[in-house]
Amino acid sequence: MAIALGIIIAIILIKYRPVYIVTLSGKEIGYIDDETKLEDRIQQEIINMEGKNIDFVSLEEMPNYELKLVNRTQETNEEEIMIALKENAKIMYKYYAVVLNDEVQGFVDNIEEAEQTVNKIKEENKNKSIKLDLQIIENYTENIEEVSIETIQVAQAQVEQKVAALIKEDEKSKMPIVNGVLLATLPVNGQVTSRFGAKSSIRSGAHTGTDICCAKGTPIKAVASGTVIFAERNGSYGNLIKVSHGNGVETWYAHCDQLYAKVGQQVNAGDVIAAVGSTGNSTGYHLHLEIRVNGNPVNPQQYLYK
């Protein structure tokens, strides 16, 4: 009896061999010889998968194993099983949003570079009065291809551009306004040598503007956008240019050496319209600046050259 049983077992082992049938979600996906070896590969190649932006990997369902005897001609297919398992893996990617004042400026994948850039921008603008809530926020996704990851240089450029716009807007908000007209720039840089209302032997009455001393030929800029309504010589004013800015506001630029803008020309704040001179009733090179509202001169130093 024992001999017969041994013969039967021998015949079975000649024709069949033991393998593990691997199933996933109840579906057979292949055959392996060594369960431990496959488990090690799952841990190393899937669970501990390394790659750019990968935060963690998990299998929604682990495979099941059943030891069975199969025909010796049955081949194992461990590689195909690994492919099936990887397709079943859930890969979570991490990336970082660079956020300025609750607005995303870009997505990056290097936290160290992002922190260095953010700290640098904060340090450069720490004395500015603008709102600068700049931070890095972790984000996660299962499909990194849908995220527009940028280099830190691109993200930095976008943030700096936005910061520059905030600074410009902040500076603009601090610019003086005359009867609704924004005075966006100084006409020249220089020292005030004669103030509004001053009296002098060279004038018939009180000074109707402010004199700013500067070199001959210094470019004179329009302090606000408007239309040139006068550009020629005018008695004691010498070469005079007038710009109307609407709302009854005009600016006058006198004693010019050269007049560049023409009557009817539209000018923007900062456009060069003339050059400093000493024409007319003048004792030296300077700009005589007047601001008039509804025809009446007002003190320019209420708004400029304070």
Alpha-carbon gap, residue 79 to 76, rounded angstroms: 9
Spell out the residues 6+ positions from residue 220 whose beta carbon is closer than 8 angstroms to its own.
187, 188, 241, 253, 256, 272, 273, 274, 275, 276, 287
What mean pLDDT do residues 10-32 have?
Answer: 84
What secondary structure, in 3-state letters, does 176-220 show?
CEECCEECCCCCCCCEEEECCCCCCCCCCCCCCCEEEECCCCCEE
Say whether pLDDT at 270 is over 90. yes
pLDDT at position 73: 83
The CATH number given to 181-302 is: 2.70.70.10
Give 95-133 pLDDT, tens digit per residue: 999 999 999 999 999 999 999 999 999 999 998 899 999
Q: When comparing pLDDT for 188 and 69, which is higher?
A: 188
Alpha-carbon gap, residue 60 to 70, rounded angstroms: 29
pLDDT at position 72: 83
For the chain, the structural domain boundaries read 12-92, 94-174, 181-302
Question: Helix (H, G, I), strand (E, B), or coil: what is residue 259?
Answer: strand
pTM, rounded to two decimals:
0.61
Give 25-77 pLDDT, tens digit per residue: 899 999 999 999 999 999 999 999 988 899 999 998 899 999 998 888 889 99
In the structure encoding, which two tokens stand for residue 293, read together? 């509202």
Share of the chain above pLDDT 90, in %: 78
Reference 241, options 233, 250, 253; nearest CA is 253
Question: Helix (H, G, I), strand (E, B), or coil: what is residue 52?
Answer: coil
Say whether pLDDT at 263 is over 90. yes
pLDDT at position 168: 85
Angle between helices 78-88 and 35-42 (to 10 degrees): 40
pLDDT at position 163: 93
